[in-house]
Structure 1
């Protein structure tokens, strides 16, 4: 395993982060335990979860993922060895069952954090992330910003930072980050943090993969120059970039077969781009999983790559990507495909 410190923190994390959003939906509690055991044995020390999980989101299962992790932490006593991250749900229609009024008010931050700590059975989080903006922007499948004139959101960034400052000073959170945020949103948070001497966001968790490199437009330069690391999720495009759908090794329970609403990764453009990436991998004696994850692992704006799996074989292969170094020829071939079919799954 390789390790890297998240800029402006003392959090030294594995380059592979264990994502957990399938636990409670596609995975049982026992399977979640087995994944955590394997990940820790392989040197992974960074777990990411959210109050919203598991996904797909359902009222009856909301919070189960954190409960599974909490039970495992109590069973193993591993909390002291791990960097633990979770998220508060932003204002999105699919999260309305969590609380009557979503968003990052002081009351919501306090409630969400205390419930996450209770489910996780811990006294603090190393990283607490704002999961989606409260503004109506940055939706899945939307490449460009479209201003919603009916959006009644009022700029409350300073209030959010002030409340996070209080929470951090209480010892329940060490650092905070963003998720699914835009360049404007990151800029506002950074500017207000600097001008009001308030906590600074240290990370941003957005999608990034061979099928979605939109982070490179605007946010990557901000990430590098402002030292706000990307913690990418969906680096395999919901499993499309494993190659199993093209190789006909997929099963009915696989994510894109089971959840038909995840259309951006199975669109005609995503399918064709994946076919071309698979050819590159096969020509260079790589699996597509290895190539796709290795490409993400070594981007200069990334500290840790959030991988997910539904079985131990997948998890082991994902973790093994840390040992793959792509050649200049492979990267050139990848970029040629990207130039021809850019960002088919925003």
Structure 2
């Protein structure tokens, strides 16, 4: 396992991070402990959580993932691990979270205290805005619609609240998620102008069938010194090939409508092409997909998730796979033929 510096921070994170959004829905507390123990034994030092989890989000389960991770975390050497969690943004109907989640100064302080309690820790290494307080296209939406504008907390106010949390020792660094190039620039400019903490990372979707990060965010994040934490590297499991030829008992089958980003016309053809390429290279399709994401110069850590130990082992084994020039050329040929069918 390799370790990389996260943006302009002092954090060195494993090139694979363990995502936990199935803990509390598809995975039991015992499953969570087994996954966490195994991942750490394999060199993972970076655990990603969110106050909204598990998914799909429900009032009855909200916060359960942090609780499961906290039961384990409270028994670990805390300084050996890097823990990231996220504050929920508005606009998705999750009214059971703080009576309607916002990224205001008051709600930020409420959210962090609840997360710290559930996670049984005194501090969070990386505290992320799960999605912006303002109107932006998210989770499979591809067009910005100014007609959906809503009241939004000024970015300088958001950063001011995070600065207070850093001063209080509750968080170490601030990150973004599901953000745009404009948003990244606004956060970095506000930090410079007002003398507030700079954001150090961005957690956005990136995989073989969704490479839109490359268009504007790759340059923006390079120049502004943000590291990419790539989520959904397997495209909700589609890139394993398990949905080819009929329904699999996976998340997209179990929760109809949840993976709308990947339920698009050209996705099956594109996935079939990448599965075929993996077979030509004598690789499991998951290994090809994960190795590709890990190989990209702008990716700091690739966030994996699993519902079984076999899946977790397979995903972690992908660190042994390297994408050489020949394989990358074939991936690019597929990408030219199927450019971003799941943006």
TM-score range, shorter chain: over 0.9
Residue 151 of structure 1: CA displacement?
Answer: 1.7
Structure 1 Cα separation of the partners of residues 293 and 110 of structure 2: 34
- Per-residue CA deviation, residues 57-107 of structure 1 (Å, 9 max, x unaligned), is 000000000000110122x32322100000000012242210124211111
Alignment coverage as a number of residue pairs = 342
Q: Does 1:22 align with 2:18?
A: no
Contact 2:4 2:12 in 1 (8 A): yes
Matches within 5 A, 1:141-290: 141-148=140-147, 150-154=148-152, 156-246=154-244, 251-252=248-249, 254-261=250-257, 262-290=259-287
Residue 269 of structure 1: CA displacement?
Answer: 0.7
**Mean Cα displacement is larger for which, 224-233 or 171-180?**
224-233
Matches within 5 A, 1:44-123: 44-74=44-74, 76-123=75-122
| Aligned-partner SS, 1:162 | helix
Name the structure 1 match of 2:292.
Answer: 295
Structure 1 Cα separation of the partners of residues 139 and 150 of structure 2: 21
Contact 1:135 1:151 in 2 (8 A): yes
| Aligned-partner SS, 1:184 | helix
Contact 2:279 2:285 in 1 (8 A): yes
- Per-residue CA deviation, residues 146-188 of structure 1 (Å, 9 max, x unaligned), is 322x423245101111111111111100000001011111110
- Per-residue CA deviation, residues 196-218 of structure 1 (Å, 9 max, x unaligned), is 11100000011111111111110
| Aligned-partner SS, 2:231 | coil
Contact 2:184 2:221 in 1 (8 A): no
**Residues 289 and 247 of structure 1: is their aligned pair in 2 closer, same or farther, counting only changes over 3 Å?**
farther
Contact 1:103 1:134 in 2 (8 A): yes
Contact 2:270 2:338 in 1 (8 A): yes
Could you list the runs of 5+ residues in structure 1 that have no partner in the other structure? none
Name the structure 1 match of 2:321.
Answer: 324
Structure 2 Cα separation of the partners of residues 136 and 226 of structure 1: 22
Structure 1 Cα separation of the partners of residues 280 and 135 of structure 2: 43
Name the structure 1 match of 2:136.
Answer: 137
| Aligned-partner SS, 2:50 | coil
Q: CA RMSD in A?
A: 1.3
**Mean Cα displacement is larger for which, 151-160 or 307-316?**
151-160
Name the structure 1 match of 2:312.
Answer: 315
Contact 1:181 1:206 in 2 (8 A): yes
Contact 2:22 2:55 in 1 (8 A): yes
Structure 1 Cα separation of the partners of residues 153 and 123 of structure 2: 28
TM-score, normalization by structure 1: 0.96
Contact 2:178 2:204 in 1 (8 A): yes
Could you list the runs of 5+ residues in structure 2 that have no partner in the other structure? none
Structure 2 Cα separation of the partners of residues 59 and 83 of structure 1: 27
Contact 2:104 2:153 in 1 (8 A): no
Contact 1:241 1:288 in 2 (8 A): yes
| Aligned-partner SS, 1:206 | strand
**Residues 140 and 77 of structure 1: is their aligned pair in 2 closer, same or farther, counting only changes over 3 Å?**
closer
Contact 1:264 1:270 in 2 (8 A): no
Structure 2 Cα separation of the partners of residues 104 and 344 of structure 1: 31
